[in-house]
Amino acid sequence: MANMIVFGTQWGDEGKGKIVDILTEDADIIVRYQGGNNAGHTLVTEGKKFILHLIPSGILHSSKTCLIGNGVVLDPEVFCAEIDKLKDSGISISPERLAISKKTHIIMSYHKEIDQARETAKSGKDKIGTTGRGIGPCYEDKMARMGIRGGDLQDLDLVREKINKALVEKNVLLEKLYNQKPLDPENVFDRIRPFASRLVPFMTDVSRKIQEAGEKNQTVLFEGAQGVQLDIDHGTYPYVTSSNTVTGNASAGSGYYYNMKRVIGVVKAYTTRVGQGPFPTEQDNESGTHMQNMGAEFGSTTGRKRRCGWLDLAVLRESARLCGPTEIALTKLDVLSGLETIKVCTGYIYQERTVEYPPQEENAMAGVSPVYENFPGWSEDISGVKTWADLPENARRYVRLIEDYLKIKVSIISVGPDRDQTIRMG
Ligand code: GDP
Ligand code: IMO
Ligand code: MG
């Protein structure tokens, strides 16, 4: 059982979807273990683009099984829309190859309403810039022990009872705090009911499925969402998502002990961030515009423009400390082509001292000054390059610099969105 895990080392959108799609060839089962449809994972095969928000990126490979673990929060409407879209594209979907844990928490309409109302009520720096998908409020209910789980959908009386209880609290919030109309429990129930019958056949014991895969010596690939700097504990709190994005959560979020042979940290060759929060290497200038345009940096979930900046090794060092990558998949190297000088942040000045890791205090990242090393760029278009030897000398030096600083090997270099635009290192 040579299990693998793919995780984002930065603020998300590193290109995890593409890397998972490639590595799926070597796996039997692909599991999502945290986050929800705040994620947007893009896969491009032979020029055809798929954006998956909830269903694991392995789904395009017809012989593989995809599982949604208990650590995910699942919006039934989004799940059904996603499977319908995949079916329309000729991809076979059945409970044999796609299943959901009975312990997965369900995103209800009131979670979305509260997420959006809360963001609207905030102003200026208080806004988090969430995706508005109800992710935070659903995780809140999980922790408050008042959530509705996948397995509950088999018992509609229980669902109705839980909605009634939840709305006692939610309506106070909506009415008194956010000046919204209270929600009618029967309307909320009517909205979820048709999806319940569609979801029930997909419900399973994900933990057991992974155990069985191990017994058959199969390989499980764990697909992370978001990135380490968005982790609820270790990210740039409070500008984070509401789940643990570090690799250790693959265990709790899927119901299987942590057992990975390969830990693949996905590193974008520069940095992007969507939503609010500190971003020390952000470039609100020509270089940032180059990355934005060349990298088509628009959010795959909300369509928002992604903020862009230089690669930040302090962030990557922290990701390595937290997640233990055995290798790096470096993506979007092609986007840096054409920049005369490329900068890399090697650490920060914080409170008049040089530091190599992000400081721990809340919002301290807003007060650091990056220390940069300048690096000569390359002018060639590398999006058609297939081998390490064919990369321009300066592009190879850039890759080696990352390896040297982090003491981790780069095993995959991605030079374009398509499956084929990939260099595998020997
Ligand atoms: P994820 O959330 O980590 O899966 O990443 P997203 O899919 O949200 O964003 C990555 C974007 O970059 C997508 O549009 C991908 O198609 C695209 N992409 C992935 N790898 C490369 C690459 O090497 N070069 C370029 N130019 N685009 C890439
Ligand atoms: P993938 O998996 C980038 C960000 C949002 C916001 C913050 C909180 O595609 O890398 P939330 O809706 O989760 O409560 O929003 O987290 N965010 C992401 N940014 N990629 C993602 O996922 C993200 N998922 C959430 O923009 O700043
Ligand atoms: Mg994304």
Which atom of ligand 2 is closest in space to residue 243's alpha carbon? 13
Distance from CA of residue 45 to its chain's centroid?
20
Q: Which amino acid is at 366?
A: A
What fold characterizes domain 267-424? Adenylosuccinate Synthetase; Chain A, domain 3 (3.90.170)
**Residue 369 backbone zone (phi > 0: left; psi -120 to 50: alpha; other: beta):** beta
The per-residue pLDDT for 364 is 94
Tell me the pLDDT tens digit for each residue of 412-421.
999 999 999 9
What is the average per-residue pLDDT within 139-144?
A: 98
Active site annotation includes 13: yes
Query: Would the pLDDT of 93 be above 90?
Result: yes
pLDDT band of 426, cuts 50, 70, 90: confident
Q: pLDDT at position 300, please?
A: 82
- Encode burial over 177-197: b for 16+ CB neighbours within 10 A, e otherwise: eeebeebebeebbeebeebbe
CA 272 to chain centroid, in Å, comes to: 13
- Percent of the chain clearing pLDDT 70 (strictly above): 100
Question: How far away, in angstroms, is 44 Cα from ligand 3 center?
Answer: 13
d(CA 158, CA 152): 7
Q: Indicate if ligand 1 lies below 6 Å from the C-beta of 227.
A: no
Ligand 2 nearest atom to the CA of residue 300, by list position: 9
CA of 380 from ligand 2 middle (Å) equals 33
Nearest CA, atom 13, ligand 1: 42
Question: 111, 230, 279, 306: which to mutate for ligand 2, most atoms within 8 A of CB?
Answer: 230
Distances (CA, A) of 100 to 27, 65, 208, 286: 18, 11, 12, 45
Give the CATH number of domain 3-101+203-263: 3.40.440.10
Alpha carbon nearest to ligand 1 atom 6, residue: 13
Average pLDDT score over the chain: 96
pLDDT digits (tens, 9 = 90+) for 27-70: 999 999 999 999 999 999 888 899 999 999 999 998 999 999 99
State which of 128, 131, 300, 301 you would mutate to test the pocket of ligand 2, scoring each by most atoms of that ligand within 8 A of its C-beta: 131
Q: Is the CB of 226 inside a 6 Å radius of any atom of ligand 2?
A: yes
**Whether the CB of 118 sits within 6 Å of ligand 1:** no
Give the residue extent of every domain in the chain.
3-101+203-263, 105-199, 267-424
Q: Which ligand is nearest to the CA of 118?
A: 2
pLDDT score, position 46: 85
**Are residues 318 and 234 in contact, defined by beta-carbon separation less than 8 angstroms?**
yes
Regarding the beta carbon of 42 and ligand 1, being less than 6 Å apart is answered yes
Q: Whose CA is nearest to atom 26 of ligand 1?
A: 416
- Is residue 1 over pLDDT 80? no
Of 5, 6, 16, 42, best ligand 1 pocket probe by most atoms within 8 Å of the beta carbon: 42
105-199 matches 267-424 in fold: no
- For residue 417, give the amino acid letter: P
Active-site pick, 21, 41, 141, 152: 41
**Locate tokens 């796609």: which residue?**
98
Using the mean position of ligand 1's atoms as its centre, give its distance from the Cα of residue 231 in Å: 20
17 lines ligand 1 (CB under 6 A): yes
Q: pLDDT by residue (tens digit) across 333-389?
A: 999 999 999 999 999 999 999 999 999 999 899 999 999 999 999 999 999 999 999
Ligand 2, atom 11: closest residue by C-alpha: 130
- CA–CA separation, 119 and 239 (whole Å): 12
Residue 144 reports pLDDT greater than 80? yes
**Cα 81 from Cα 260, distance rounded (Å):** 32
Tell me if 128 CB under 6 Å of ligand 2.
yes
- What residue's CA is closest to ligand 1, atom 8? 13
Taking the CA of 119 as reference, the closest ligand is 2
Instruction: pLDDT band for 302, please (50, 70, 90 cuts).
Output: confident
Nearest CA to ligand 1 atom 25: 416
| Ligand found nearest the CA of 273 | 2
Q: Please tell me the distance from the alpha carbon of residue 41 to that of residue 379, in angstroms, as a whole number.
A: 29
pLDDT score of 299 more than 90:
no
CATH no. of 105-199: 1.10.300.10
The pLDDT score that the predictor gives to residue 308 is 98
Candidates 271, 369, 192, 231; CA nearest to 13 is 271
Instruction: Tell me how far the alpha carbon of residue 273 lies from the centroid of ligand 2, in angstroms.
Output: 9
Three-point CA angle 136, 15, 392, nearest 5°: 150
* 305-341 per-position pLDDT tens digit: 999 999 999 999 999 999 999 999 999 999 999 999 9
Tell me how far apart the alpha carbons of residues 198 and 106 are, in angstroms, rounded to a whole number: 14
| Torsion sign (Cα): 276, 282, 285, 291 | negative
Looking at all shown ligands, the one closest to residue 133's CA atom is 2
Compute the distance between CA of residue 82 and CA of residue 104 in angstroms, rounded to an integer: 17
By alpha-carbon position, which residue is closest to atom 5 of ligand 2? 130
